[in-house]
Amino acid sequence: MAIKTVKISQIIGSGYCVSASDGKLVYEVITQHIEKGDRVAISFENATRLTTAFLNAAVGQLYGEYTPEKVRASLAPPLGAEPWQLARLKVVVERAKAFFEKPDEISKIIERESGKPNDDT
């Protein structure tokens, strides 16, 4: 299994990794490598801004496509990440695992907490 480096700032053409649409571009590159059987090392080099919205689209969605075991086996440790970036990545991964394990339950909790009426009531 070859390790491929995915440089997020290079893919989106900027160090401002903030939008979900840019995260989706990174997700597509990651999944292409996973489907080829490669292991992916995500590079945070030159990423000066980083939001959870971006990370949810880039990495969190992997847990909707693959099992947590497959994601863990397919992702190598991140490269060039600062502690604050790793902290955000960890939050996104934990939330994605919880959501995709029980999406209906999590959606109901989000609706309840946001004050939106639940369709089941």
Instruction: Specify the range with the lowest mean pLDDT, choosing from 30-44, 70-84, 93-107.
Output: 93-107
* pLDDT tens digit sequence for 29-66: 999 999 999 999 999 999 999 999 999 999 999 999 99
Radius of gyration of the chain (CA): 15
DSSP 58: I
**Which amino acid is it at 40?**
V
Supply the pLDDT for residue 44.
Answer: 97
Q: What is the pLDDT of residue 115?
A: 72
pLDDT cut 90: percent of the chain above it: 79
Tokens of 15: 């160090």
Residue percentage of the chain with pLDDT more than 70: 85
What pLDDT score was predicted for residue 121? 45
Q: What pLDDT, on the 0 to 100 scale, is given for residue 51?
A: 96
